[in-house]
Amino acid sequence: MTETLVPTAEAMAAPEKRLFIKTYGCQMNVYDSERMADVLRPLGYAVTDDVKAADFVILNTCHIREKAAEKIYSELGKLREMRDIRRETGRDLTIAVAGCVAQAEGEEIMRRQPAVDIVVGPQAYHQLPELLTRTARARGERIGADFAPDDKFDALPATRFTEGPTAFLTVQEGCDKFCTFCVVPYTRGAEWSRPLASVLEEARRLAGRGVREVTLLGQNVNAYDGERPDGKKATLAELAYALAAIPGLDRIRYTTSHPNDMADELIAAHGDLDALMPYLHLPVQAGSDRILRAMNRKHGRQKYFDLIDRIRTARPDIAIAGDFIVGFPGETDREFEDTLDLVRRVNYAGAFAFAYSPRPGTPAAGMSKQVEPEVAKERLHRLIALLTEQQTAFNLAQAGRTLNVLFDKPGRHGHRRQAIGRSPYLQSVHVDDADHLIGQIVPVEIVAGQQNSLMGRLSSQQKAA
- What is the binding site for ligand F3S (CB under 6 A)? 25-26, 28-29, 62-64, 99-100, 183-184, 187-188
The interface mask with ligand SAH, positions 182-221, x = CB under 6 A, is x-x----------------------------------xx-
| Exposure string over 312-324, b if 16+ CB within 10 A, otherwise e | bebbeebbbbbeb
Binding to ligand SAH by residue 280, rule CB under 6 A?
A: no
Listed in order, strand segments (DSSP E) in 293-376 are 319-326, 350-355
Q: Which is nearer to ligand SAH, 31 or 356 (CB)?
A: 356
Q: How far is the CB of 64 from ligand SF4 (least distance, A)?
A: 8
Contact flag: residue 283 with ligand SAH (CB under 6 A): yes
Q: How far is the CB of 462 from ligand F3S (least distance, A)?
A: 39
Query: Any known ligand binding at 179?
Result: yes
Binding site for ligand SF4 (CB under 6 A): 175, 177-179, 182, 184-185, 219-220, 258
| Smallest distance from ligand F3S to CB 343, Å | 22
CA angle 47, 171, 28 (to 5 degrees): 45
Q: Is residue 103 within 8 Å of 145, Cβ to Cβ? A: yes
Residue nearer to ligand F3S on the CB measure, 29 or 172: 29
Buried b (16+ CB within 10 A) or exposed e, 116-148: bbbbbbbbbbbbbeebbeebeeeeeebbebebe
CB closer to ligand SAH, 123 vs 219: 219
- Centre a 10 Å sphere on the Cβ of residue 388 and count the other Cβ atoms it contains: 15
Cα–Cα distance measured from residue 406 to residue 48, given in angstroms and rounded to the nearest whole number? 27
H helix intervals, 156-218? 184-187, 196-208
Maximum distance among all alpha carbons in the chain? 81
Q: How far is the CB of 386 from ligand SF4 (least distance, A)?
A: 22
Alpha-carbon torsion (392, 396, 402, 406), positive or negative: positive
Q: Does 356 bind ligand SAH (CB under 6 A)?
A: yes
**Do 337 and 329 touch, CB atoms closer than 8 A?**
no
Stretch that binds ligand SAH, among 67-75, 158-166, 176-184, 300-308 (CB under 6 A): 176-184
Residue 99 binds which entry of ligand SF4, ligand F3S, ligand SAH, none, CB below 5-8 Å type-dependent: ligand F3S
Binding-site residues for [4Fe-4S] cluster sit at 26, 62, 100, 175, 179, 182
